[in-house]
Structure 1
Amino acid sequence: MKAAQLVLSLLIMLYSVSSVADEGTEHFLEPEADAVYVQFVEIEQQLKTASYEAVAGLLTPLQQYPLYPYLQYQAYLRFPARLTQAEVNQFLDAYPLFPSRTYLQQAWLTQLAKDGRWQEWITAYQRLPNKSAAYQCDLAQAYLHTDQQEQGLALTASLWLVGKSQPKACDALFEQWAQLGNPTASMAQKRYWLAAQAGEMRLARYLHRYLDEDGNRLASAYEALLKQPERVATADVSIFPAMAQQQVIKKAFQSLARQSVEPAAQQWLAYRSHLPAASSLVHTLDVYIGKRLAYAQTDTAAELLSRLDPDHQYSELTEARLRQALGADVIDWAVVLTLITTLPADLQASDRWQYWYVNAMQNQTPVSPVVDDEIGDESVAEIKTVEGQTSESQPLDDIWNQLAQSRSFYGFLAAAHQQLPYHLNNQPFNVNADVLTELQKNPAIQRAKEWLKLDRPTEAQREWLSARARLAPDERQHMAALSFEWGWYHRSIMDAIRQQQWNYLDARFPPLFTDLFDRQASKNEIDVTWATAIARQESAFKPEAMSPVGARGLMQLMPSTAKLTAKKYGISLAGTEPLFNPETNIALGSAYLAEMYQRFDGNRTYASAAYNAGPNRVERWLKERGHLPLDAWIETIPYAETRQYVQNVLAFRVIYAQRAGQEVAMLSPSERLLLAYQQQSEPSEPDTVN
C-alpha cells in the first residue's frame, strides 16, 4: 500500500497547488478532490504488477469512468496471450477515437505472429489495416505461411523495390526471399537508381553487391560525379537513367553554390540553356541559387540574380531581389519600387510590400521627417486585416493610414509613422451554447478533460487531436473557446491558429505566468511584455515543450545555454528536467534575454534576433549590414525563421501591452530614428558592433 499512499499524497499536493493558481497561470481544469482520481491512478500503478486473475476485480469499480478504456487497454497490453479477436474487435468498436487503438492492434498482431497463427493474423490485420512497412512485411510473411505464395512474393518484391531502407522487421522476410534467388540483377539496378534519385546513397552503395558488371560500372561513374560536382557541367549525364540525371545535376549545382555562389550561378546560367525551360529542375535551381545570390551584396550578384529571372516569373526570386536591394549600401528606391510592381497582385497587397512600396515612394519624394512619439513593440504574422492593392496615384498618407489599420508588424510601423493608435481588431468568438454542449459530450473530449484534471496534458492532447479529426467544421470552430474555458491556454492558442481565428485574441494571447514574468523582468530590468512575447513565440506557453534540437520549456532554452546562464547568475539548476518547470525556465530565460539586451546596447530588435539565432550571428550581420535602416536590417535577415521571429516578437509585445491597458511603443525613440522613412535618400553612417 506504500505506492497507493504515495500516489494519494501526490494528488492531494496537486489539488492544493491548483486550488490557489492565479489567473496568470495555465492551470487547466480545477481538479475536484474526488476519490475517483486517486482510485484511477492507484489502479494504473497496480496494473503494472497485478496477476491476470486480479485484473477484472481491479477494473470493475471504474467501468463508468471516462478513462476506463485506458485501464482496459493497459491490461490487454500486459496479457496479449490471453486476448481473443472478439475482445480486440469489441474494444475497437467501443472506442473509435481512442488514440492508442492502433497500438492494441499491433500488440495483438505481434502475439499472433509469435504464436505462428498466421491465418488469424490475416483476419486480425484486415480488421484494422496498418500500411507501415513493418506490418506490410508481416503481412507478406503471413501470406507465405498460409500457402498464398504468389501474393506473398509479389508483396515482398514491392517492399524491397523502394528507394529507401526498410525497417529491421523486414530482414527475416527478405532473407527468406533471397533464398529463392532474389533479387535479380535487373531488380537491383532498378532499386539502385530509385535510391540514387532519393539521395539515399548509403543504400545505393550497399546494392553494388547485387549489380552485374555493367550495372556496377554505371553506378560507380554516377558516384564519382557526386564526389566531384565541378565535373557535372561538362559530363555526359545522359548515360544515367532519367530519374537520376536530375538528381546529380541538382546536387552538383547546389554543392557548387554553397561553396561559391557567383561562379556557380555563372555555370548554371550556361548549363540551363540546354534544359527544358519549364522543367522542375530549372525552377528548383534558379530559386536555390537565386536566394543565395540575394545575400551576396555585390554588383555581380545583383546582375546574376536578374539574369536568373529576367521576366520575374518566380515571386520567390523577386522577393529575394527586393531584399538584396534593401540590403545595399545605399538603397536605390526606384529599383525597390519597380520590383514591387512586378510581384503578383496578392503579394503586392500584403502588408510587407505595401510598407516597402510607400517607403519607396516617400524616399523618392522629399518630405519632412516624421518623428513619432509612440510606437508599439510587436507584430503578428499570423494575422492580416487589410486587403487591397495600392494605386500609384493614391496619396501616400492614404496608404499609410490604410496600412495602420492592420494588426501586423508593418501595420504597427505604419501606425507609428502616422501617430495613430495600434489597431488590435479583437473579435471575441460568438459561442453557440448548443454546439459547445454537444462538443463536451464527445467521449474523446471527455477523456481529455479527465486527463487535464490529473495534470497530464500530453495524454489530454492526444485525445483532443483524435476528437478533432472527426468533428464537424462548426464544432472545430468552438475548440479554442472550450480549451480557453478550461484554462488550457496553450491548446486554445493552437486551436485558434489551426482554425485561422486570427481575431480571437482572448484565445490567442492569454496573459499567463504573469507573476513569474513580472518578478523576473523586474529583477533583470527588462520589459515584462517583451519577455512574455518571447515565451509566446517560442512555445505558445507550453511548459513541457521540447524542440527537435533539444530546446526546452516555455522560453525554449538549450541545455548548454541554460547551464551557462545558471552559473553566471547564480540560479540553481540540477540537470535538464528543471527547464520544464515554469519558474526555473522563466528565471533563466529572462536572465539570458537581459544579457542579450545589454550586449546589444538596449536594442530589443537585435537582442530578439540574438535570442533566436545566437549573438555571434547577429554581431556578424551587424558588421555586414549594420548601416542599414533598422526595418531594412530586419527585412534582410538571412534566416527567414529569424526574420519572422523578430517581427512576431515585436508585434506580440504590442498586443500584450495593449491588452493589459499599457501604453507601449514598438520601438524605442532611438530605434524609430533608424527606420527607412526617417532616412530619406541620405545613406546613414555605418553602425558596427565590435
Structure 2
Amino acid sequence: MPVFRSSPRRLPFPLTRCLAGMAVVVLALVRSTSATAAAAPTDAQRAAFKQAYATAQQQGGDAWRAQAQGLRDYVLYPYLEAAALEHDLATLDLARVQDYLTRYPAMIPADDLRRAFLGELARRQDWTDFLPLYQDGLGDALTCDALQARMAQGQSLDFDRDLAALWQKPALPGACDPVLDAAHDAGLLTPTRLWARIDRAVAAGAGGTVAALASWLPARDAETAQRLALALRDPAEAVAQAAHWPDTPRHRHAAALALQRLARRDSSRADQAWLTLRKRFHFSDEQRNDVLNALALFHATDFDDHALQRLAELPAAAQTDATREWRVRVALAEQNWRAVLGAIDALSPEQQRDGEWRYFRARALAELGKPAQAQQQYTALASEPTFFGFLAADRSDAPYALCPWTLDEDDARARSLLADIGMQRAFELFAVDLPRDARREWARALRGSDETTRRQAALLAYQRGWYDRAVFTFSSGDALRLYEQRFPLASQDGVVPQAQQAGIDPSWAYAIARAESAWMSDAHSGADARGLMQLIPATGAQVARSYGLPWNGGDSLYDPVVNVQLGTRYLAQMAQRYNGAPWLASAAYNAGPIKLDQWLAARGTLPPDVFTATIPYKETREYVARVMAFSVIYDWRLSGSAVPVDQRLTPIGTTYVPPAAGAVRKPVSCPADVGTEPAASGSVAAPTAASSSSDS
C-alpha cells in the first residue's frame, strides 16, 4: 500500500407443539432454518434494507421500522433491530437485550449485541445484570469484567481457577487491571508467578507489561525487571547503563536483549557496545550466538563494508536461515558471483529449493561463463508460474508456463449451500454492501466443512462478484491454477479504462489491486489505507486535487469505482517519478518513495533483478515480485499472451513505455508435465501492508 500513510439445516418435520420449557430451543431451531422456499431477494427489498439499516445505526429507537415494512421475512431483518439496539446501548435494560437474544439465538448480531451490552454493563458497574448475561469465551476484557462481577458479589479469587489462563498471556486489556490489583492484594501474585509472566512478556517484546509487573516485586527484583523493560523499550540507554549492571543471569539476559535490539536500529553502535559488554558479562553460548547473529544480520541489511565476510565467518551455531539468505543478498549487491554461488551452497536444503535461489544460481553460472549449466537451471525453473519462473523463461527463451484448471460445478452441493440460511445471509450481506458482516456469516456457515464444500462456496461467491472469497479459498494445491477465479477481471470497477486514462498498463493496475487487497473492497490497514488499491485519505485527497477529480472524504475510498479512479492516478504519479518503470513504482507504492530513493542512491547501478533481491524490506521484495508476476497473469488474462517480465524490469534510469498494440508479447503454454504450482513469489493470495523495519 502507499505509505503516505478479518447451520443448521431446515428440519424435515414441523414443530407444532412443545413443552413450555423448550420454547427457547424451538425458537432457535425455527429461526436458524434455511428458507429454501423463500423467493429471492428483490432490488426493492435491498434498497429498503439499506435505508432502514442506516436509520437504525444513526438514530436507534424504532424509526427504522417504518422503512422496514415488508422486510419481516427478509433474511437480514434481525440485523436491523440489532443495529438500533446497539445505538441505544446507554439506555437499554437487560430485559430488552434478553428478548432479542431469545428471538435470535446463535446469530452473529445477537452475539455482537451480547458483547456490546456486557461492555456497557461493565461501564455502569452493573454487576447484578452482568452475570446472567455473561458467557465464557467472549474475550479477555469481558472475562476480567466477569471476575469483577463475582468479586462484587463476595466471591474470592482463586488463582488456578480464575487467573491461570489469563496469566499465560504477555499482555492484557485495561479491564483486567482491577482484577490483577485484587489478586495482588490477596497475595496471589507471588514473585515466582510474577517472574513467570515477566519472562513470557519479555519473550513477546511486551515491555509495558514487564514494567507494570515490576512494581509488585521486591525492591531488588523490581530494579532488575525494570532493566529488562528498558532493554525492550530503549536498547541504546540499556546498553549504556549495562556497563554498571551486576553480572547476574537476568542482567545478562537484559544486556543481550538490548544488544540485539540495538543492532536492528544502529548496528555500528551495537558493535561498540558488544566490545565492552562481552568483557563484563559471562554470556551463555546461546546469548553470545544470538548477539553475533543480530550484529551480522543488521550489518548485512545495511550493506556495510565487510558485511559479507562477517556473515561467512559467523559460527555455525549462530547462523540462521536469515543470515544465510542475507549472505547471498550481500554477495549479489557486490555482484561477486563466486561468492553468490558459495552463499547459495551454504543455504539449507529447503532454502536452496526456493525459486529465488535457483534463479540466482543460474544467474551466477551464466555470469561465470557457464552458459550450458545456467540454461539447464533456467529451463527447469521456467516451468513454474512465479516471478522467478517468468524471469527464467525470459532467459531461456521459453514460453510462460500457465496451466489453467477448471473446477467442476457440483449442482447438488451448490443447491445445499444456497439453501443454508447462514450462506443466504452471507451472500445477501455482500449484496447490500456489508462485506465485513458477510465474511463473518460466511466463516460461520462454513465452519467445519470439507474442502470440496468450501471450494463450491467460493465458486458461488465468484459468480456473484464476491471475488475475495475465491482468492482466499483457492490458495493451495490444484486450486492455484484456477486463474479465472484467483485473478478476476472486475470490469465493473473500471480498471481498464481508468488505467488507460491514467497512462499506465491495465495489467499492472489489476496486479496492484490484487496484491494490495485481494479484492476486498473494504480492506483497511493499520496505516489507515483503504479499499481495493489501499490509498490513505491524505493521498486520495492529494490525487483528487492534482487531477481535478471530486473528493468526498476518506470513506469514499471504499467505493471501488472511486478507489480505482484515484489509485490508477496515484500509480501514474509513482511511475512518472521513476521513468515509468512499474517495478520501481511498485516498490515505492509499498515502501514509500523516500525509502526507495535511499536504496537507489546506494545501489542504483545494479540490474533490476539483482536490485530487487537487495531491497532491505522482506515485504517490499516479495511485493515487487508478486506484483510483477501478477502483471504477467493479468496481461495474459486480458490478451491471451504477455509482455515479457524483462521488458517490465527496465534498467534503472531508462524510460519504460507501457506496451502498445503492436508490442512484442510472450506466448503462454502448459508444459506436459504440469503439476501443482509451488507457493512461491507470485502465487501468494493474501494482501500486504507496508513494512517499516529491516528484514530479519
Fold match by TM threshold 0.5: yes
Amino acid at match of 2:237: Q
2:362–2:373: 8 Å Cα contact kept in structure 1?
no
Match of 1:643 in 2: 621
- Alignment correspondent of 2:346: 342
Separation (CA, whole Å) in 2 of partners of 1:111 and 1:216: 36
1:587 and 1:65 mapped to 2: Cα distance?
Answer: 35
Give the Cα–Cα distance (whole angstroms) in 2 for the partners of residues 266 and 219 of structure 1. Answer: 21
Aligned residue type for 2:320: Y
Residues 275 and 564 of structure 1: CA distance in aligned 2, closer, same or farther (over 3 Å):
same
**CA offsets, 1:290-316, max 9 Å, x none?**
332223434422222223244795222
Task: Tell me: CA distance 1:425–1:284, structure 2 relative to 1, closer, same or farther (3 Å).
Answer: farther
Mapping for residues 221-370 of structure 1, pairs under 5 Å = 228-231=237-240, 238-239=247-248, 241=250, 245-261=252-268, 264=271, 267=274, 271=278, 275-277=283-285, 279=286, 285-310=291-316, 313-328=319-334, 331-365=335-369, 367=371
Answering whether residue 112 of structure 2 is matched by residue 106 of structure 1, we say: no
Q: Does 1:470 align with 2:448?
A: yes
| Contact 1:160/1:174 (<8 A) preserved | no
Q: Does the aligned pair in 1 maintain the 2:365–2:373 contact within 8 Å? A: no
In 1, are the aligned partners of 2:267 and 2:295 still within 8 Å (CA)? no
* TM alignment of 1:198-213, pairs within 5 A: 199-202=205-208, 204-205=210-211, 210-213=216-219
Query: 1:407 aligns to what?
Result: 385
2:470–2:486 contact (8 Å) kept in structure 1: yes
1:178-234 Cα shifts (integer Å, max 9, x gaps): 776887888777777766665544455556665554445545666677563334775
Q: Is the 8 A contact 1:578 1:584 kept in 2?
A: yes
Distance 1:601 1:110, change over 3 A: closer
User: Does the Cα contact within 8 Å between 2:293 and 2:319 map onto a contact in 1?
Assistant: no
Q: Which amino acid in the other structure matches residue 324 of structure 1?
A: V
How far 1:521 sits from its partner (Å)?
A: 2.7
Q: CA deviation at 1:532?
A: 1.8
d(CA) in 2 for partners of 1:275, 1:469? 49
2:25 maps to what in 1?
Answer: none
Secondary structure of the residue aligned to 1:502 is helix
Residue segments in structure 1 that go unaligned for 5+ positions in a row: 1-29, 368-393, 675-690
Aligned length: 605
Residue 306 of structure 2: SS of its match in structure 1?
helix
- What is the distance in 1 between the residues matched to 2:562 and 2:121? 48
1:548-580 CA distances to partner (integer Å, 9 max, x unpaired)?
A: 101222222233333333333323324323333
Structure 1 residue 564 corresponds to structure 2 residue 577: no
Preserved CA contact (<8 Å) 2:289 2:318: no
What is the match of residue 638 of structure 2? 660
Find the counterpart in structure 2 of residue 510 from structure 1.
488
2:363, 2:374 within 8 Å by CA — same for their partners in 1? no
User: After alignment, is 463-472 or 629-638 more displaced?
Assistant: 463-472
Mapped to 2, the partners of 1:542 and 1:437 lie a distance apart of 26
For residue 406 of structure 2, the aligned residue among 424, 428, 444 is 428
Q: Which amino acid aligns with 2:511?
A: A
Change (3 A) 1:571 1:283: farther
What corresponds to 2:74 in structure 1? Answer: 65
2:509 corresponds to 1:527: no
2:56/2:64 contact within 8 Å kept: yes
Cα offset for 1:406? Answer: 0.9
Change (3 A) 1:540 1:238: same
Q: What amino acid maps onto 1:348 in structure 2?
A: Q
Question: Which one is further off, 356-365 or 590-599?
Answer: 590-599
- Residues 141, 246 of structure 1: alpha-carbon distance in 2 compared, 3 angstrom cutoff: same
Rounded to whole Å, the distance in 2 between the matches of 1:295 and 1:110 is 46
Query: Hey, what does 1:607 align to over in structure 2?
Result: 585
1:129 paired with 2:136, answer yes
What is the aligned-residue identity percentage?
A: 28
Supply the distance in 2 between the matched residues of 1:178 and 1:305 (Cα, whole angstroms): 48
Partner amino acid, structure 1, of 2:487 = F
Deviations 1:377-406 (CA, angstroms, capped at 9, x unpaired): xxxxxxxxxxxxxxxxx9543332221111
More deviation, 582-591/315-324: 582-591
CA contact (8 A) 1:254 1:289 kept: no
Matched, 1:82 2:95: yes
* Residues 578 and 584 in structure 2, CA contact (< 8 A), matched pair in contact too: yes
Per the TM alignment, residue 629 of structure 1 is displaced from its structure 2 partner at its CA by 1.9
Aligned pair 1:587/2:569, yes or no?
no
* Native 8 Å contact 2:430 2:438 kept in 1: yes
Q: Does 1:487 align with 2:465?
A: yes
Q: Is the 8 Å Cα contact of residues 130 and 149 (structure 2) preserved in structure 1? A: yes
Q: Is the 8 A contact 2:214 2:223 kept in 1?
A: no
Q: Deviations over 1:135-164 (max 9, x none)?
A: 22233234334554354x776765996776
3-state secondary structure, aligned to 1:497: coil
Kindly state the Cα deviation for residue 256 of structure 1 after the two structures are TM-superposed: 4.2
Question: TM-score with structure 1 length normalisation?
Answer: 0.75
- Further displaced range: 297-306 or 635-644: 297-306
Instruction: Please report how far the alpha carbon of residue 412 of structure 1 lies from its aligned counterpart in structure 2 after TM superposition.
Output: 0.8
Q: CA 1:670/1:441 → structure 2, altered by over 3 Å: closer, same or farther?
A: closer
What are the superposed Cα offsets for residues 578-612 of structure 1, whole Å, 9 maximum, x if unpaired? Answer: 33333333232222222222222232222221222
**SS in structure 2 of the partner of residue 541 of structure 1:** coil
Distance of 1:58 and 1:576 partners within structure 2: 28
**Residues 472, 247 of structure 1: CA spacing in aligned structure 2 closer, same or farther, 3 A cutoff?**
farther
> What is the aligned partner in structure 1 of residue 528 from structure 2?
550
CA distance in structure 1 between the aligned counterparts of 2:239 and 2:40, rounded to whole angstroms: 66
Which residue of the partner structure matches residue 26 of structure 1? none
- Distance, in Å, in 2 between the alignment partners of 1:154 and 1:419 is 67
Cα distance between partner residues in 1 of 2:584 and 2:498: 21
* Distance of 2:447 and 2:291 partners within structure 1: 38
Q: How much does 1:455 deviate?
A: 2.9
What are structure 2's unaligned runs of at least 5 residues? 1-38, 653-696
- What is the Cα deviation at residue 510 of structure 1? 0.9
| Cα distance, 1:446 vs structure 2 | 0.9
- Cα shift at 1:429: 1.6
Distance 1:358 1:311, change over 3 A: farther
In structure 2, how many angstroms separate the alpha carbons of the residues matched to 1:354 and 1:257? 29
Distance 1:446 1:267, change over 3 A: same
Task: Rate the CA distance shift 1:443–1:144 in 2: closer, same or farther, 3 A.
Answer: same
TM-score (structure 2 length as normaliser):
0.75
User: How far apart in 2 are the matches of 1:287 and 1:530?
Assistant: 38
Q: Provide the aligned C-alpha RMSD in A.
A: 4.2
User: Which shows bigger deviation, 620-629 or 260-269?
Assistant: 260-269
Give the Cα–Cα distance (whole angstroms) in 2 for the partners of residues 670 and 190 of structure 1: 54
Q: 1:194 to 1:310 in 2, by over 3 A?
A: closer
